Amino acid sequence: MGRRDAPELTPTDDELAAAEESVRRTLARYHEPAPVPPPPGLAARVLAALQAEPPPGSRPEPARRRLGLAAVWAGAALVFLLLAFGAWGVLVNSLAPASVAGGPAAGLGQLLLVLTLAAKPLVNLLASAGATAALVVVAAAGGAWLWWRIVSTTPFTPPVEIPQ
Amino acid sequence: MDQQAEEAALARRAQSGDQTAFGVLVQRYSGAVFNQAYRMLGDTHEAEDVVQEVMLRAYRRLDSFDPSRRFVTWLLTISANYCIDRLRRRRLNWLTLDDVAFWLTSAEPGPERLALADERRAAVQRALQRLPDTYRGVTVLRYWHDLSYLEIAEALGLTEATVKTRLHRARKLLEQELQAEEETNQWDAETRLS
């Protein structure tokens, strides 16, 4: 079975001409095709919106765009590394992050140890609640997303004033 | 200077920052883009949004305009693809506030019904909206904008053979939909009389 628009199903020129003639006769019965007048002032509004647009030749140089993209990737990589670092401490070895930062006795190492130990009970609580907690979180997030989709795609219609 | 050469000159001037030159093109073709968007999306407010967005995209991408093509064909290409994107996104909006708060839905006719005073033309528009998006696109560009098969193929990223096949099938579908419209109107008329 071929694709729906496979070449062997292409109509001949005569068949297509006959089909087009048929459509044009049908449309003519309905006074079509006929242009629908655009809203008054449409072109003026479009041009007004273009006033704020920089000239076509003055887009940001490609190098600046590449720099922006590199910054985004670097930020994403940093977040991933931080999460991996934290997971290593919470799930594998509590002292590991502190030892990397010069030991748990003082300074950054001590701070990292405190953060790791503070995160452990929270992670254990979430893990012990298990599937139920995950379901509640997913349901709440899904409901919030759904509500946001409904509200954000509904156009605002100002209330109509009824003349007295 | 023929029209195509004139438009190429206007596009070159617009590209170097002459917004007046681009304004001439906007004045000339905003109606055509509005019609194409309205036939595709079935909503005058959305069609107006499409005109804004299409003209903005065209202005930003003037360097990609090929002077050997008609300017209106290039605009309709941008518009057709943008409308298809909007139709795809519309399919994702499967739940709206109207569905949730159905008791608040107004019984007043919408702006589309008011804009198309002639009911027979409104029937064509309703029939068009019931065509699959892929058939509606080629139908509108062929019958309302008189684009050639090659221009339609280039606009929609299809082969000429595919355009011809879809036009051929669209004929039957459109006639079926219009037949259904006529039967519905007949039934409505009989119901009002009884």
pLDDT digits (tens, 9 = 90+) for A109-152: 888 888 888 888 877 777 787 778 788 888 999 999 888 888 77
Q: Which residues of chain A have pLDDT under 70?
A: 1-9, 57-65, 153-164
Q: pTM for the whole thing?
A: 0.64
Q: Which amino acid does the sequence have at A74?
A: A
Q: Which of A17, A150, A92, A73 is nearest to B96 (CA)?
A: A150
What ipTM was assigned to the predicted interfaces of this complex?
0.75
Q: Is the pLDDT of residue B73 over 90?
A: yes
Token pair in block for residue B6? 């004139």
Q: What is the model's pLDDT at position B92?
A: 67
Question: A26 and B30 in contact by Cβ < 8 A?
Answer: no
Q: Is the pLDDT of residue B180 over 70?
A: yes
Q: Which of B1, B3, B48 is nearest to B25 (CA)?
A: B3
CB A10 within 8 A of CB B164: yes
Q: What is the model's pLDDT at position A121?
A: 81
Q: What is the model's pLDDT at position A1?
A: 45
Question: A30 and B120 in contact by Cβ < 8 A?
Answer: yes
Q: Give how far Cα A116 sits from Cα of A78, A100, A107, A120, A129, Å.
A: 18, 13, 14, 6, 20
Q: Which of A151, A83, A143 is nearest to B96 (CA)?
A: A151
Confidence of residue B47 (pLDDT cuts 50, 70, 90): very high
Q: Is the pLDDT of residue B29 over 90?
A: yes
Q: What is the model's pLDDT at position B19?
A: 85
Q: Is the pLDDT of residue B25 over 50?
A: yes
User: Which of A19, A30, A42 is nearest residue B171 as measured by Cβ atoms?
Assistant: A19
Question: B30 and A36 in contact by Cβ < 8 A?
Answer: no
CB B33 within 8 A of CB B50: yes
Euclidean distance between CA atoms B162 and B167, whole angstroms: 9
Q: What is the model's pLDDT at position B75?
A: 95
Q: Is the pLDDT of residue B142 over 60?
A: yes
Euclidean distance between CA atoms B20 and B177, whole angstroms: 44
Question: Which residues in chain B have Cβ-Cβ distances shorter than 8 Å to A15?
Answer: 168
CB B169 within 8 A of CB A18: no
- Count Cβ–Cβ pairs < 8 Å, chain A vs chain B: 130
Question: A15 and B115 in contact by Cβ < 8 A?
Answer: no
